[in-house]
């Protein structure tokens, strides 16, 4: 079944009439030409999932609602110096599909793009929600306003049991933790972390992570690193 966004789903009970946002409503009735009796899935990005039925007069009636189980650990917190718009859009969608728990925009010395709060709460959320609808992920990643690099380091140390950053060297002899529920994954700007930034991370016990034979683009490193870390600490 097709999935649609419904921000008010949590407050609805079976039998209630459902009102979709304008673009979602147009997609259901104009693009898909939904007919009476057809069913669709609703989600609010906070774990609530519902099944609704098309009724007479192009209306939707909620038939059932349930809460999805919280994602199993590890929870990946992506701290990233955002690249320019198109590349960041790709990262947002693909990392949401992978199940990233939180995405934090970081201001580094070589940052090339700085999203404002309107972009983060608007366009970012829309892109991540589209990825949730496509993938079936019931939880839109958390976001916050841009924070400076030293503050991001401190924030990750408080929240996460292990912290990693994309590095091109110095990754050979590192002891890896056995299990971890929350993981920080730091991705620098297109010019890379500065020597001072990398030194600060190593001082606080961050582990450098390098995969493949070559220097990767920001969007490649963000997605591949997320997948590798989730698999490494999945406990399976």
Q: What is the pLDDT of residues 24-62, one digit of tens each?
A: 999 999 999 999 999 999 999 999 999 999 999 889 999
Rounded to the nearest angstrom, the gap between the alpha carbon of residue 177 and the centroid of all alpha carbons in its chain is: 24
Summarised one tens digit per residue, pLDDT across range 204-220 is 999 998 887 788 899 99
- Decide if pLDDT at 178 tops 80: no
Which two three-digit tokens encode residue 74?
């590890």
- Both tokens assigned to 33: 């030409």
pLDDT tens for each residue of 146-174: 999 999 999 999 999 999 998 876 665 66
3-state secondary structure of 122: helix
Q: Per-residue pLDDT averaged across 94-101, rounded?
A: 96
The angle subtended at Cα 54 by Cα 49 and Cα 60, nearest 5°, is 60
Give the bridge partners for 60, in sequence order. 18, 54
Regarding pTM above 0.85, the answer is yes
| Whether the bond into 227 is cis, omega within 30 of 0 | no
Please classify residue 11 by burial: count the beta carbons closer than 10 Å to its beta carbon, then call 0-12 exposed, 13-18 middle and 19+ buried. exposed
Inter-residue contact 40 to 34 (CB < 8 Å): yes
Give which of 50, 45, 70 is closest to 60, Cα–Cα: 50
Average confidence (pLDDT) over 73-89: 93
Q: Please name every residue paired with 17 in a beta bridge, in sequence order, or none if there are none.
A: 61
């Amino acid at each position: 079944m097709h999935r649609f966004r419904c921000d008010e789903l949590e407050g609805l009970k079976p039998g209630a009439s459902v009102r979709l946002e304008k673009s979602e409503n147009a997609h259901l009735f104009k693009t898909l030409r939904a007919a009476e009796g057809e069913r669709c899935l609703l989600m609010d990005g906070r774990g609530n999932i519902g099944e609704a039925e098309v009724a007479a007069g192009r209306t939707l009636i909620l038939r059932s609602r349930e809460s999805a189980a919280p994602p199993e650990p590890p929870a990946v917190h992506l701290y990233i110096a955002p690249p320019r718009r198109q590349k960041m859009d790709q990262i947002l969608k693909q990392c949401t599909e992978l199940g990233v728990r939180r995405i934090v925009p970081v201001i580094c010395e070589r940052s090339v793009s700085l999203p404002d709060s309107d972009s983060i709460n608007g366009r970012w959320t829309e892109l991540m929600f589209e990825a949730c609808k496509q993938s079936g992920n019931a939880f839109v990643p958390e976001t916050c306003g841009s924070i400076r690099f030293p503050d991001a380091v401190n924030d990750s140390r408080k929240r996460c049991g292990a912290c990693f950053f994309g590095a091109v060297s110095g990754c050979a002899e590192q002891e890896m933790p056995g299990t971890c529920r929350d993981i920080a994954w730091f991705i620098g700007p297109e010019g890379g972390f500065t020597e001072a930034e990398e030194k600060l991370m190593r001082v606080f016990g961050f582990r450098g992570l390098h995969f493949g034979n070559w220097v990767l683009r920001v969007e490649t490193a963000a997605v591949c690193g997320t997948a590798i870390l989730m698999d490494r600490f999945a406990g399976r």
